[in-house]
A and B are shown apart, each in its own frame.
Chain A
Amino acid sequence: MRTPSLAHDLRQVVGEANVLDTGVNLRLYGYDAYLEERRPDAVVFVRTTDEVAGVVKACNKWGAPFVARGGGTNLSGGTVPVKGGVVIEMIRMNKLLEVDTKNLRARVQPGMFNLEFGNALAPLGYQYLPDPASQKAATLGGNVAENSGGPHCFKYGVTTNHVLGLTVVLPDGTIARFGGKAPDEPGIDLTGILVGSEGTLGICTEIVTKIQRLPEGVKTLLAIYDSIEAGSETVSAIVSAGMVPATLEMMDQLVIQAVEASIKCGFPLDCATVLIIEIDGLKDDLEQQAEAIADLCRKNGAREIRVAKNDAERAALWAGRRGAFGAVARITPSYLVCDGSVPRTELPKILKKVAEVGKKYDLKIPNVFHAGDGNLHPLILFDWRDAAQKERVMKAGMEILELCVAVGGTISGEHGVGIEKMDAMHLVFSEKEIDAQRKVKHAFDPEDVANPGKIFPAAREVAHA
């Protein structure tokens, strides 16, 4: 008989083969798409809600914190086990449990990839709308934890608008169901509070989502500009004209060049920006809408407009956009992705200032942004082997967030606070506002065991009389 230990108890819950607690295995689960790492004490692979509850209870017994992990695509360090403890790997809970077209709902496990879910729904004529660019590798559980966005969120809203129920393992190991297929469950909107809580309030093990009919028609346009301002003005003109495209995506020259070098999708290398506009809905007015939008593009200085003629051309345009983060890795080995969000009309001003920040710190900062909703992703490029450069990168990142807040924006649009932006919380919230959020944390997790060391900045010293 073995000596009692956390690892032993975990093996009792999930079986011998589903616990890793030695060597290099642990390193593999200690980092994500952010820039830091910390080795966990153990990694467990779970398959059922009961197993998750059992693992959490074992953690409680040994006083170990835990972090749920899906695809590991988090950009703010949300899955890094900064306090050690157990990484609960959700990726094997990846079943689509039910597609209920009659009620326009689906039930799905959190380890399923966002794209995989979409691919399962499409043949039935349905879709799940939030579509983060990382959808190939990002899991739905991660989407819930981060309240993920994506290009389609301008028209259709973010994850919280599409998730109506959750089965959750609470930090004390109890299992609870919040919401469900019926709307308006009486009581506090715990589903809404869980979504975007970055794994700090509990672990979701089943998700009830809205599903929607695929649109009858889709049209995708690419407008090419010699100045970023012209692209931004087009976006404002489209919105002022009363149109609500499904997506309005832009990227700048550096990104375009990187994208073209890695995936040939036909973006001109010499333009300042491209704007990808997609409209969807009934086919009756799509042609006309597309013409009206093309007109507005031309009026605002587009040098060329291309309309995707078929699915293959449309897919190529999107491959360019979705591949943007990956492609910039061709320029330097590392980058820090900023995720500021501003009122849309402030975008041109902010982009100019971002360029100034790049000059000030001698850094290259290409940009990808959701132009319709004002969420920008400056990618600050650097080489992780250069410590001095990394320090400049962190300063530049913080300065960009300050700029966003100064024009009425915020520090994170869709990537979460994680460990990256804990100190930036003070840019947007007062101490009492952060304290109100701490109370929510305390109500769910009084022992601070669920993904501790995230979101909250160190409490400011208060002078006691």
Chain B
Amino acid sequence: MRDGDGLARKLSSIVGEDQVLSDGAATAFAVDGVSPRLAVRPGTQQDVEAVVAACTAAGAAMAPWGGGTAMGLGNPPSRLDVVVLLDRLSRIVEFDHANLNVSAEAGVRLARLQEVLGEKGEFLPLDPAEADAVTVGGLVESNASGPGRLLYGSARDWVLGLRVVLPSGERIRCGGKVIKNVSGYDMNKLFIGSLGSMGIVTEATFKLLPLPAARATVVGVFRQVPQMASVVARALESFLVPEALEALDPAALSSAETGLGRVSPAGYGLAVSLAGSREAVERQVRDFTKLFKENDAIATDTLGDADAGPAWRAIRNVHAPFKASGVVVKVAVPIGKTLDLFASAGDLGRRGFTGAVSAHAGSGIVRAGYRIAAGAPLEPLRDALAALRGEAEAAEGSLVLESAPAALKRTLDAWGRVRDGFAVARRLKAELDPGGLMNPGRFVGGI
């Protein structure tokens, strides 16, 4: 970066002096231990344009920051001069409930958005952990999803349009607000899940769904993984359409239950969320309860709407404790392999790496958190994770570090092996961010 003081003055002139943090105050926004020189809080999308243009002119490397929930994702930044805080972009721009879509600025928190949508009987079917903190921008740039991914997919499936500030400071629209749109390239895909490496998302338009008339959750507890796996396999080949099939290892089950003041026998939990008309939900509760029994569940439970909300919040957040004092990884594999990797991730526990493991059992996603004791050497855990990654990659999948000590990331790449598309990705990066200023170093292959 050239002329840091000059940039600080320029940014102050754009957003006001009180919205620019420097030095000591800015270190609160360090990314993997790399402190920015400045942190800036633009209040409008136009301000983001001006801020980005000023940073680019000064050759300053930028990182967007929304709710901070995905700041552990990716490799440590190769450079970082300015963190662009997006929490003041908190307007719900347009809620067109008759057409089932909403446009919201990047800083809007998911929980608040859902509240507003809920008032008109609609919802955005994305349910990542930490909904109170996750922002619209973060949802998009991390392609977030949660247990409901089984029925609804990920952010990729619900974004209709985006507004993105490119490194040049120009803001472009991608997509629109209509459900079907093939006018030019699907530019949304360039920014969904690319961790701000191509530009800063300032607004997103999402497709919505009507809230289901009824919901219920059934939980089965099993002694062994294969019994649970049999329930999952039979459910997937049936006509049933559960919203979520979430597998929990004994630690995850007990941690979710502790928060709820419930206790079930020690074992593996399978939480199943069902949504739809009352008749369809009742039928599925019956069918799943029967499937649980046929597969030797040692306990089953049915939760109504009131209990289910807190239960799912607890289930989604079982890894949260390990973000601060450990490591959280996401394994993605073909659906049929999910519970194999779930079991392997759990095996690390037997080798002394304690934590909690859960899986979107019908969607190919396993998430595991492991504790790292203060002062403990990182090499054994690193080697165990590398082996787990090997297993995932052998199954055509991946293992990604969602959060880990920077020291661990320096010897274990956050994303794993470089894939076929990397040459194209690098050229896209060079076209859109020729100066390499958007979140440099963090995304796949260090772009």
The stretch among A2-10, A133-141, A277-285, A299-307 that forms the contact with chain B is A277-285
C-alpha gap A442/B186 in the complex (Å): 15
- Please tell me if A30 contacts chain B, counting CB pairs below 8 Å: no
Write out, one digit per residue, whether chain A residues 365-379 have a CB within 8 A of any chain B CB (1) or not (0): 000001001110000
Select which of B154, B177, B233, B424 is within 8 A of A444 by beta carbon.
Answer: B424
- Please tell me if A71 contacts chain B, counting CB pairs below 8 Å: no
Residues of the B chain whose Cβ atoms lie less than 8 Å from the Cβ of A244:
209-210
The stretch among A13-21, A318-326, A337-345 that forms the contact with chain B is A337-345
Chain A nearest Cβ from B420, distance in angstroms? 4
Are A239 and B239 within 8 A (Cβ)? no
Are A146 and B182 within 8 A (Cβ)? yes
Residues of the A chain whose Cβ atoms lie less than 8 Å from the Cβ of B332:
182-185
Indicate the size class of the contact surface on chain A. 35 or more
Are B100 and A239 within 8 A (Cβ)? yes
- Please tell me if A242 contacts chain B, counting CB pairs below 8 Å: yes
A174, A184, A285, A443: residue with the most chain B Cβ atoms closer than 10 Å: A184
Chain B nearest Cβ from A277, distance in angstroms? 16
- Please tell me if A157 contacts chain B, counting CB pairs below 8 Å: yes
Are B182 and A440 within 8 A (Cβ)? no
* Known A-B contacts A103-B334, A192-B192, A284-B279; A434 and B184 likewise in contact (beta carbons under 8 Å): yes
Q: Which single residue of chain B is at the shortest CB-CB distance from A176?
A: B420
* Known A-B contacts A170-B424, A343-B177; A411 and B183 likewise in contact (beta carbons under 8 Å): yes
The stretch among B10-18, B60-68, B306-314, B393-401 that forms the contact with chain A is B393-401
Residues of the B chain whose Cβ atoms lie less than 8 Å from the Cβ of A375:
178-180
Select which of B98, B143, B211, B283 is within 8 A of A240 by beta carbon.
Answer: B98
Are B173 and A429 within 8 A (Cβ)? yes
Chain A nearest Cβ from B287, distance in angstroms? 9
Are B178 and A147 within 8 A (Cβ)? no
* Known A-B contacts A186-B415, A196-B182, A413-B180; A104 and B236 likewise in contact (beta carbons under 8 Å): yes
- Please tell me if A394 contacts chain B, counting CB pairs below 8 Å: no
The stretch among B79-87, B111-119, B428-436 that forms the contact with chain A is B428-436
C-alpha gap A181/B364 in the complex (Å): 9
Write out, one digit per residue, whether chain A residues 204-229 have a CB within 8 A of any chain B CB (1) or not (0): 00000000010110000000000000
- Please tell me if A349 contacts chain B, counting CB pairs below 8 Å: no
C-alpha gap A433/B168 in the complex (Å): 12
Q: Which single residue of chain A is at the shortest CB-CB distance from B422?
A: A187
Are B194 and A189 within 8 A (Cβ)? yes
Are A341 and B178 within 8 A (Cβ)? yes
Select which of B173, B186, B237, B240 is within 8 A of A196 by beta carbon.
Answer: B186
Are B173 and A345 within 8 A (Cβ)? no
C-alpha gap A282/B151 in the complex (Å): 14
* Known A-B contacts A375-B180, A408-B177, A428-B176; A193 and B190 likewise in contact (beta carbons under 8 Å): yes
Write out, one digit per residue, whether chain B residues 166-182 have a CB within 8 A of any chain A CB (1) or not (0): 10001011101111111
Are B186 and A160 within 8 A (Cβ)? yes
Residues of the B chain whose Cβ atoms lie less than 8 Å from the Cβ of A70:
none
- Please tell me if B277 contacts chain A, counting CB pairs below 8 Å: yes
CB-contacts of B367-414 with A (<8 A): 395-398, 400
Q: Which single residue of chain B is at the shortest CB-CB distance from A165?
A: B396
Are B428 and A342 within 8 A (Cβ)? no
C-alpha gap A288/B427 in the complex (Å): 54
Residues of the B chain whose Cβ atoms lie less than 8 Å from the Cβ of A430:
172
Chain B nearest Cβ from A443, distance in angstroms? 4
- Please tell me if B99 contacts chain A, counting CB pairs below 8 Å: yes
* Known A-B contacts A182-B397, A436-B166; A413 and B185 likewise in contact (beta carbons under 8 Å): no
Residues of the A chain whose Cβ atoms lie less than 8 Å from the Cβ of B365:
183-184
- Please tell me if A86 contacts chain B, counting CB pairs below 8 Å: no
Are B166 and A178 within 8 A (Cβ)? no
Residues of the B chain whose Cβ atoms lie less than 8 Å from the Cβ of A412:
181-183
Chain A nearest Cβ from B397, distance in angstroms? 4
Chain B nearest Cβ from A213, distance in angstroms? 6
Residues of the A chain whose Cβ atoms lie less than 8 Å from the Cβ of B444:
186-188
Residues of the A chain whose Cβ atoms lie less than 8 Å from the Cβ of B397:
182
C-alpha gap A221/B170 in the complex (Å): 49
Are B276 and A182 within 8 A (Cβ)? no
Residues of the B chain whose Cβ atoms lie less than 8 Å from the Cβ of A415:
182
CB-contacts of A149-181 with B (<8 A): 149, 153-154, 157-158, 160-161, 170, 174, 176-178, 180-181
- Please tell me if A455 contacts chain B, counting CB pairs below 8 Å: yes
* Known A-B contacts A104-B236, A178-B421, A186-B398; A341 and B181 likewise in contact (beta carbons under 8 Å): yes
Number of B residues, CB within 8 Å of A: 87
Are A413 and B236 within 8 A (Cβ)? no
Residues of the B chain whose Cβ atoms lie less than 8 Å from the Cβ of A176:
420-421, 423-424
Residues of the A chain whose Cβ atoms lie less than 8 Å from the Cβ of B238:
213
* Known A-B contacts A182-B332, A409-B178, A440-B190; A417 and B183 likewise in contact (beta carbons under 8 Å): yes
Residues of the B chain whose Cβ atoms lie less than 8 Å from the Cβ of A189:
143, 156, 189-190, 192-194
Are B334 and A285 within 8 A (Cβ)? no
Are B190 and A370 within 8 A (Cβ)? no
Are B182 and A242 within 8 A (Cβ)? no
CB-contacts of B325-350 with A (<8 A): 330, 332-337
Are A437 and B184 within 8 A (Cβ)? yes
Are A158 and B240 within 8 A (Cβ)? no
- Please tell me if A358 contacts chain B, counting CB pairs below 8 Å: no
- Please tell me if B241 contacts chain A, counting CB pairs below 8 Å: yes
Residues of the B chain whose Cβ atoms lie less than 8 Å from the Cβ of A434:
184
* Known A-B contacts A185-B398, A187-B419, A413-B178; A345 and B185 likewise in contact (beta carbons under 8 Å): no
Are A439 and B432 within 8 A (Cβ)? yes
Are B335 and A103 within 8 A (Cβ)? yes
CB-contacts of B204-231 with A (<8 A): 209-213
Residues of the B chain whose Cβ atoms lie less than 8 Å from the Cβ of A342:
178
Are A440 and B185 within 8 A (Cβ)? yes
* Known A-B contacts A183-B364, A242-B210, A289-B277; A192 and B186 likewise in contact (beta carbons under 8 Å): yes
C-alpha gap A436/B283 in the complex (Å): 50
- Please tell me if A28 contacts chain B, counting CB pairs below 8 Å: no
Are A443 and B177 within 8 A (Cβ)? no
* Known A-B contacts A188-B428, A189-B193, A373-B179; A178 and B420 likewise in contact (beta carbons under 8 Å): yes
C-alpha gap A429/B181 in the complex (Å): 13
- Please tell me if A72 contacts chain B, counting CB pairs below 8 Å: no
* Known A-B contacts A182-B398, A183-B363; A192 and B176 likewise in contact (beta carbons under 8 Å): no
Write out, one digit per residue, whether chain A residues 408-426 have a CB within 8 A of any chain B CB (1) or not (0): 1111111111000100010
- Please tell me if B425 contacts chain A, counting CB pairs below 8 Å: yes
Q: Which single residue of chain A is at the shortest CB-CB distance from B398?
A: A186
Are A213 and B180 within 8 A (Cβ)? no
Residues of the B chain whose Cβ atoms lie less than 8 Å from the Cβ of A417:
182-184
Select which of B99, B188, B282 is within 8 A of A374 by beta carbon.
Answer: B99
Are B280 and A282 within 8 A (Cβ)? yes
C-alpha gap A410/B187 in the complex (Å): 15
A187, A213, A345, A374: residue with the most chain B Cβ atoms closer than 10 Å: A187
- Please tell me if A102 contacts chain B, counting CB pairs below 8 Å: yes
B184, B336, B431: residue with the most chain A Cβ atoms closer than 10 Å: B184
User: Would you list 25 pairs from A and B whose C-beta atoms are within 8 A, ordered by A residue?
Assistant: A103-B336, A153-B180, A158-B180, A160-B189, A170-B424, A184-B365, A185-B398, A186-B444, A188-B198, A188-B444, A189-B143, A193-B185, A242-B211, A284-B277, A285-B279, A344-B98, A345-B99, A375-B180, A409-B176, A410-B176, A413-B180, A417-B183, A425-B183, A433-B172, A440-B190
Known: A188-B190, A410-B183. 17 other contacts (CB 8 A): A103-B364, A160-B189, A188-B194, A189-B156, A189-B189, A192-B186, A239-B210, A282-B239, A282-B283, A282-B284, A284-B282, A343-B178, A373-B178, A375-B178, A408-B177, A440-B190, A444-B427
**8 A-B pairs with the lowest CB-CB distances in the bound complex, closest first:** A192-B189, A242-B210, A216-B239, A413-B180, A102-B336, A182-B397, A439-B431, A443-B427
Residues in chain B within 8 A of chain A (CB atoms): 96, 98-101, 121, 143, 153-154, 156-157, 166, 170, 172-174, 176-190, 192-194, 198, 209-213, 233, 236-241, 276-280, 282-284, 330, 332-337, 363-365, 395-398, 400, 415-416, 419-425, 427-428, 430-432, 443-445
